[in-house]
Structure 1
Amino acid sequence: MDDFVREKLIEWDLQKWMDKFEDEEITQESLYELNDELIHKLIPKVGPRLTFKKKLKQLKEEQNINQETVNLSVQEQKEAPDKDQVLASTSDKGKRRFEHPGGSSKLQPPAKRQRSSQPRPYLEAIVLSDVKNIMKFVHARLHEKDKLSAFLKKKICDLETDKRELVGVFGKTGAGKSSLINAIIEEKNLLPSGSVSACTSVMIKVEANMQGSNYEADIEFITPEEWKDELWSSHQFLGDNEDCEMDVDNDYHDISEKFSALYGEEWKGKSFEDLMDGKYFREIPEFPQSRRKILTCESADKLSAECVKYTRSDSKQEEGNEGKKWFWPLVKCVTVRVPNNPFLQHVTLVDLPGNGDRNKSRDQMWKGILGDCSTVWIVTEINRAASEKEAWEILESVSSLIGNSGECQQIHFICTKSDLLDDSDDLSSADFHDLLTERNVQAKDAIKKEFNKQSKTKKHFTDDTFKVFTVSSKEFLKENYLSPEDTEITKLQRFLQDLNDCHSETVNYVKGAHGILSLIQGANSRGVDSKKGEVCEELEINMSLQLDNVRKEMEDTYTAFKKCLDDGVEKSKCSYGEKLKNFLYDGKNGGAFYNLLKCVIENGGIYKPKKGKPINLNMKLASCLIDSIGAEFRKTFPNEVTCGAFNGVIKTFSLDIDSLIEKYKNAELQLRFLKTEEENIKARLSRIIQKQKKNVYSSLTETIENIMEEGYCKALAFTGEDTLYNMRETIENHVHSKKDMFEQAKNTMLGKLHDLMVYVLETLEKTMKESIGLSFTAEECLLPDVSTELEMVKKYYNQLVGTPD
């Protein structure tokens, strides 16, 4: 039995039958030739035998795919002999579309069209699978009797990472978000679309199903306690304003629509305690038990039909739907998983509400996901896109959350329905195409000009991060005047594929595996023993110098932040009175403003209307502090990965290992591991900094919010005819008495920045010291011979990224 067969039996959890395979001398070549009779002889028990047959069948299919891909790659090399291309490139050649067996819901474009979708190369997926199997085998052979072996086992486990790229999708009702997502991922009926009166009411994530071939929906509900709180506050709001006219666009209608969806007309006249009765939730037993509901279907259209009542609100009940219950008011988030989809391999598309949500848990999730988005799509109809007020309001309201307080690197303004032209029926195809192209170019120019006027957004983003697309989901699906390229759907598909490819899971895993195997083999050879002290000394000197560079840059950053914040505190103290006056007074009287102010203080200083700009009194008070630090913060913590945190100093940290490899040839294997380890810790710290910098930035507003909470509670306690006067006076007096809150906010931010700096320095030093020490340990270690595995992984590594040098 060779190593390949041994690895497969371990991977398939069939180690018990290894002796049989060993006795019969089964090799990789003979494994593929086993028939039912021979398999029965090797594995007499039915359960394990069925498992083996299923796994062997999958292995044979992978081998066929691998050979087919290699053949295509060889053919590609013949066509382009000047390119040294071992793996499939990002071109369409050498790739195969993932097809779902019974996929009637998949888009089936006309055969004569050349589609530009670019699935991840099969060959790369097979490389990743092979190297993972090798490392599982090595992991199983390592014991934990010494520090190095335990260290190596942990490093193998740490190779497993799956960072998903999030793309947030915004757009008003009827803009075509659902149709756009369906077209881009080539799932015609996945998300319901088409009804102008219906709109998506909850957050929907669309990602790949990596575990099976079905379409799934994972429905997460808010807690019963949260729904009870929402019922109580809504009843209070309706009770205070029962004489007000219920216009379709105001909050009263919003509450009424939400209650009617779940309770029908029964909610009217009932207390919030009555509406918590279990009889209303019999169809969703998961909700009272705080469990998730999982829907599984064989096709996209069936799942879409099942999901509608959990995701959509319909202000005009369609015929036949009278009395039907809609559960979207109780839903926190729905995750839709699609099988065999190359565009979602490492990407999640998130259909987001424009202003978050009044429900605190939904709003917290909204903020969290928004902050994690590497790209944001703003979707609007092409007709008057540049002057579309709602689209620009959405972008402005989320700019700080996706900018300094987030990870967004690109904003895509997507104009839908680009194929709609007035009086186009009599045009020839050529005239139609020319007219459409001219209109789309004009729309793009107008939108870019409008973007340059968005001063608040421009504080966080430059022109380079902003792109405009004109798409037609409808035209993409049919043979007409336009090619797929003209609709620009294919450009967005290529963008998603690039996100998948940039994920570099295979490259990172193989590189890390190569480093670990190099260390094991180097430790076994012990060829560096005589020079060990000398190598360690040079490494430690280099590390000390590099850490000093990092420390100095961080100290400079702290000083710059303090200077900016000191300026912000002074400006805040001078201007907060005027800001308060503009919000609380300035001709604002009567019942309408009373209702607005009460909503603001009930929600901790924040009010999010269903339409229009959200109001955030805490943000108004913190605005001078935020403005003072904005430019310095973006310079220090840019969202662009290529720039690097702390003005790039983390990225430039280097122990100069390449020159040490030249000097100490006998230590090459250990040093190669250390080079990999250095790259890994820098990448890990960059990810941690990207997450933690959000907490640093948001601390300014959060500190103000926490200090203002007491004042809001006092203002909320008033009733009677002078309530508006008392609420205003209470808020005003509270701010005057707590004007040191600006200094507190400054100190909180600086404290969080200091903690982050200490963590980065300590982690960098501790990780590299441990790795250096264990790489050149004097302790006797019993390590397996991995020369074969190292050679195999080295070949894969060279294919993926070139030689280790």
Structure 2
Amino acid sequence: MDNFVRTKLVEWGLSEWVETFKDQEIDKENIFDLDDREIENLITKAGPRMRFKKNLKLLKVIKSEQNHQLPEFDSRRVLPSTSDTGKRKSDLQNDASRLQSPAKRQRLSMPGFAESIILSDVKSIMTFVHERLNDQDKLSAFLKKKISDLETDKRELVGVFGKTGAGKSSLINAIIEEKNLLPSGSINACTSVMIKVEANTHNKYEAEIEFITKEEWKDELWSFRQLLDNNENQEKEDDDDYRDAVEKLTALYGEEWKEKSSENLMENKYFKEIPEFLQSRRKILRCESANELSAQFVKYTRSESKQGEGNEGKKWFWPLVKCVTVRVPNNPFLQHVTLVDLPGNGDCNKSRDQMWKGIVGDCSIVWIVTEINRAAAEKEAWEILESVSSLIGNGGECQQIHFICTKSDLLDDSDDLSQADIHERIVNRNQEAKDGVRKEFNKRTKIKKHFTDDSFKVFTVSSKEFLKGKYLSPEETEIPQLQGFLQELNDCHSETVNYVNGARGILSLIHGANSRGVDDKKAEVCAELERNTNLQLRNVNKEMEETYTAFEKYLDDGVEKSKRSYGEKLKNFLYRGKKGGAFHKVLKCVVKNGGVYKPKKGTLINLNMKLASCLIDSIDDEFRKTFPNDSERGAFNGVIDTFSLNTDSLFEKYKNAELQLRFLKTEEEKIKAKLNRTMRKQKKRVYSSLIETIEDIMDEGYKKAAEFSGKDTLYNMRETITDHVHSKEDMFERAKNTMLEKLHSLMEKILKTLEETMKESIERSFTTDGGLLPDVSTELEMVKKHYDKLVGTPDDETSLTGFADQVETAETWTQTSLPRGSAV
């Protein structure tokens, strides 16, 4: 075995197979001759084997191109332009030493690997240009800011929901091809701990554990003690809250909590294994393997289903944990994606709940995971989806829902069937499950208010079959389809194109300012651009005013419906348990928790949402139309996307200003992309303002109701809540006004940003002397070629592969040919 094979295996995330290849004496010459049978003998796991085959195929393409085409190499690439006025050669070499091009780029699987090389190269160029710009004039400062603004660190969030036992952990393990990462099996998942899975920049498996605060745990202990003391004479086995309190206390303290006060349970001795909790710090675990890390962090996310022999005195710290972030090295599916295993409906702990709401609202994709057996009728899965639909839809950024039916390989009464018959029955049953889930989705009007048929997809998966393949091919397990979906999120083709195009625009402006060929036409071209800008801004303003008027109308209707119906809504909620009984405890929890009760099992109870429902229903359709989550049509009926200075029509008329116009065109595209991102974030605040206003106004009433105890508590709580709502009847009008204020503020911000950005760009492009700017002609030519590679043949993988080969050859040449100490 040689270094070539070892390096490739590490690059492809297959380092655990290095010794196997070494034992079989696989080297650079014979690796290309491996057939499927030999590969199967070398790599016994299906996932890594598929990855190896894909990368080997790519490697063969590259080798073929090397044999038939000598890559071109421009020595100017080694050092950027060195024609800066007043700079000595030694100064330029020092600049280059500080700004070396990156080390040899790691190849990624097609089609993204060549794009990563292009992006890295252009970033190196722009870093060099940024350093060469001075801070002595407004244009240079403007350009430096524009270069800094090119960088966007976009990470897509995929939220994973599903009840314990649905197979979430096995699914995530299979998809990212880390069989032993997330624990499953004989241990119970904790419903309150959020688990993020993302890529690590270091070659280690890592878990970062974030705890709740000491004050929050102290408050929970006090609440547990009140609950336990008041429950002594009641049926404990039917009380979810009682069981939840006992479970948390037993996990952390064993049986010792039964004899201790809440104050005693805060003593430092109970937390000596986790000093980070006492110090309000995060705990970091680092390991060499997924299996080792899983064994270490399991106590922070789960606990044994039974405290059996050998577990006496063992502590499980998950009651103190808010979030665990697991980081995996060398994983192609997690480059720009974070998978988040989420509790179903938030948490009674305030900080956990705030984090939960924030992440749910930021999810681009949501996976609902349930077992395939009765998937369409699985009550809990649909309840989870309905409970989060407004948070991920109008109140979030979710573009697609994937309903994932797990354990699709399991069949009843299959002992006497042949393998072919089992395969046929599995395939037919899976299709029936998909049809059933789709029909059920069409009945769920609450979900369909936020999502169209096209945004809802159904998968039937088997993690077990994906790994061993007894009855189903890898494709039939549908794990590869989900992997492909993650790979699409990771490829980020548009992000690469946007960066390179923006860089081209900036370099065009610098080069154009140096040429000074447009001096005699400055006033004329500026006047025309400003006319176009003002016309386009009027169009944007007109659309926004119409949107505001529509919102105002729908909210007025919502206010009237709310005033007519809130009395009946209150009655139905407060008096559904007329004789008291269990409802006394439910209402007590509701008022203690600000109108919301999250039972251990069952549907979320939210009185605030009931009171705000007419207002929310009144604007849901208009809101989705105004702020769609799908990327095909932008906000405000696409008026931002259609904003244009019409620079294309000016290229022919003002040929000497082509470089400046090129910059303005890229600036226009950049600001539109930025504003669309801003609106996706800010629209969530607009939408949530309705319920937040109701929550704020109701808070005083809940606090008064929570003070009652003893005889007639249920009656007093009911009367207090009813009286408070009657006295605050104007809260619906106030909620409407708050939403309209936030909407107006967002529209003003969008208009102001658009106007100021474009007018400043026009001014800087045509009214500032560029005499102090460096010569970037070579860099501009290089970036143009990169841009043409990206957009000229976006589906031509061979072209990108050939380019990557050219870059690698160039880097090898510079590393071996330059004098010792020279910089690239």
1:125 to 116, 132, 142: 116
After TM superposition, the structure 1 = structure 2 runs for residues 383-782 of structure 1, keeping only pairs within 5 Å, are: 383-502=373-492, 504-782=494-772
SS for the counterpart of 1:798 is: helix
Instruction: Tell me which residue corresponds to 2:146.
Output: 155
- CA deviations 1:531-587 (Å, max 9, x no partner) are 111111111000000000000000000000000000000000000000000011134
- CA deviations 1:641-672 (Å, max 9, x no partner) are 11101111111111111111222111111111
Distance between the aligned counterparts of 2:272 and 2:489, measured in 1? Answer: 42
- CA deviations 1:728-770 (Å, max 9, x no partner) are 1000000000000000000000000000010000000001111
Is the alpha carbon distance of 1:258 and 1:629 closer, same or farther for their aligned partners in structure 2, counting shifts above 3 Å? same
Is the alpha carbon distance of 1:68 and 1:139 closer, same or farther for their aligned partners in structure 2, counting shifts above 3 Å? farther
Distance between the aligned counterparts of 2:454 and 2:68, measured in 1? Answer: 35
Query: What residue identity is the alignment partner of 2:453?
Result: D
User: Residue 781 of structure 1: CA displacement?
Assistant: 3.8
Is the alpha carbon distance of 1:77 and 1:589 closer, same or farther for their aligned partners in structure 2, counting shifts above 3 Å? farther
Is the alpha carbon distance of 1:411 and 1:780 closer, same or farther for their aligned partners in structure 2, counting shifts above 3 Å? closer
2:792 to 798, 802, 805: 802
SS for the counterpart of 1:294 is: strand
Match status 1:286 vs 2:299: no
Instruction: Tell me which residue corresponds to 1:56.
Output: none
Distance between the aligned counterparts of 2:459 and 2:524, measured in 1? Answer: 58
Distance between the aligned counterparts of 2:505 and 2:64, measured in 1? Answer: 28
Distance between the aligned counterparts of 2:202 and 2:494, measured in 1? Answer: 23
2:161 to 149, 170, 188: 170
- CA deviations 1:279-309 (Å, max 9, x no partner) are 1111111111111111111111111111101
Q: Note the residue ranges of structure 2 that are not aligned, 5 or more in a row.
A: 1-54, 70-104, 795-824
- Normalised to the residue count of structure 1, the TM-score between the two structures is 0.85
SS for the counterpart of 2:614 is: helix
User: Residue 121 of structure 1: CA displacement?
Assistant: 3.2
Query: What residue identity is the alignment partner of 1:203?
Result: M
Q: Note the residue ranges of structure 1 that are not aligned, 5 or more in a row.
A: 1-63, 79-94, 99-117
User: Residue 271 of structure 1: CA displacement?
Assistant: 2.3
User: Residue 689 of structure 1: CA displacement?
Assistant: 0.6
Is the alpha carbon distance of 1:315 and 1:752 closer, same or farther for their aligned partners in structure 2, counting shifts above 3 Å? same
Instruction: Tell me which residue corresponds to 2:101.
Output: none
User: Residue 276 of structure 1: CA displacement?
Assistant: 1.5
After TM superposition, the structure 1 = structure 2 runs for residues 52-131 of structure 1, keeping only pairs within 5 Å, are: 71=62, 74=65, 121-131=112-122
Is the alpha carbon distance of 1:192 and 1:529 closer, same or farther for their aligned partners in structure 2, counting shifts above 3 Å? same
Identical-residue share of aligned pairs (%): 77
Query: What residue identity is the alignment partner of 2:508?
Result: S
Query: What residue identity is the alignment partner of 2:714?
Result: L
Query: What residue identity is the alignment partner of 1:206?
Result: V
Residue pair 1:70, 1:123 contacting (<8 A) in 2 also: no
Query: What residue identity is the alignment partner of 1:160?
Result: E
Match status 1:188 vs 2:179: yes
Instruction: Tell me which residue corresponds to 2:203.
Output: 213
SS for the counterpart of 1:134 is: helix
User: Residue 191 of structure 1: CA displacement?
Assistant: 0.4
Distance between the aligned counterparts of 1:318 and 1:464, measured in 2? Answer: 49
Residue pair 1:174, 1:195 contacting (<8 A) in 2 also: no
- Give the stretch that moved more between structures: 791-800 or 196-205: 196-205
Distance between the aligned counterparts of 2:134 and 2:127, measured in 1? Answer: 13
Instruction: Tell me which residue corresponds to 1:103.
Output: none
Residue pair 1:149, 1:781 contacting (<8 A) in 2 also: no
Residue pair 1:146, 1:781 contacting (<8 A) in 2 also: no
- Give the stretch that moved more between structures: 328-337 or 193-202: 193-202
Distance between the aligned counterparts of 1:360 and 1:677, measured in 2? Answer: 42
Residue pair 1:162, 1:505 contacting (<8 A) in 2 also: no
Is the alpha carbon distance of 1:201 and 1:732 closer, same or farther for their aligned partners in structure 2, counting shifts above 3 Å? closer
SS for the counterpart of 2:275 is: coil
Distance between the aligned counterparts of 1:493 and 1:97, measured in 2? Answer: 19
- Normalised to the residue count of structure 2, the TM-score between the two structures is 0.83
Residue pair 1:257, 1:315 contacting (<8 A) in 2 also: no
Output the aligned Cα RMSD.
Answer: 2.2
Instruction: Tell me which residue corresponds to 1:141.
Output: 132
SS for the counterpart of 1:685 is: helix
User: Residue 74 of structure 1: CA displacement?
Assistant: 4.0
Match status 1:204 vs 2:222: no
Distance between the aligned counterparts of 2:271 and 2:463, measured in 1? Answer: 38
Residue pair 2:189, 2:302 contacting (<8 A) in 1 also: yes
Residue pair 2:208, 2:283 contacting (<8 A) in 1 also: yes
Instruction: Tell me which residue corresponds to 1:237.
Output: 227
Distance between the aligned counterparts of 1:433 and 1:743, measured in 2? Answer: 60
Query: What residue identity is the alignment partner of 1:162?
Result: D
Residue pair 1:168, 1:373 contacting (<8 A) in 2 also: yes
Query: What residue identity is the alignment partner of 2:137?
Result: D
Distance between the aligned counterparts of 1:711 and 1:453, measured in 2? Answer: 37
Distance between the aligned counterparts of 2:328 and 2:308, measured in 1? Answer: 28
- Give the stretch that moved more between structures: 494-503 or 648-657: 494-503
- CA deviations 1:178-201 (Å, max 9, x no partner) are 000000011111100123644564
Distance between the aligned counterparts of 1:378 and 1:196, measured in 2? Answer: 21
Residue pair 1:185, 1:343 contacting (<8 A) in 2 also: yes
Distance between the aligned counterparts of 1:541 and 1:700, measured in 2? Answer: 39
Distance between the aligned counterparts of 1:695 and 1:801, measured in 2? Answer: 36
Residue pair 2:187, 2:302 contacting (<8 A) in 1 also: no
SS for the counterpart of 1:639 is: coil
Residue pair 1:411, 1:466 contacting (<8 A) in 2 also: yes
Distance between the aligned counterparts of 1:256 and 1:408, measured in 2? Answer: 36
Count of aligned pairs:
705
Distance between the aligned counterparts of 1:168 and 1:234, measured in 2? Answer: 30
Query: What residue identity is the alignment partner of 2:124?
Result: N
Is the alpha carbon distance of 1:416 and 1:275 closer, same or farther for their aligned partners in structure 2, counting shifts above 3 Å? same
SS for the counterpart of 1:169 is: strand
Distance between the aligned counterparts of 2:139 and 2:430, measured in 1? Answer: 62
SS for the counterpart of 1:287 is: helix
Residue pair 1:484, 1:490 contacting (<8 A) in 2 also: yes
Distance between the aligned counterparts of 1:751 and 1:504, measured in 2? Answer: 34
SS for the counterpart of 1:612 is: coil
SS for the counterpart of 2:432 is: helix
Distance between the aligned counterparts of 1:77 and 1:374, measured in 2? Answer: 43
Query: What residue identity is the alignment partner of 2:531?
Result: I
Residue pair 1:703, 1:745 contacting (<8 A) in 2 also: yes
User: Residue 318 of structure 1: CA displacement?
Assistant: 4.8
User: Residue 490 of structure 1: CA displacement?
Assistant: 0.6
User: Residue 247 of structure 1: CA displacement?
Assistant: 1.6
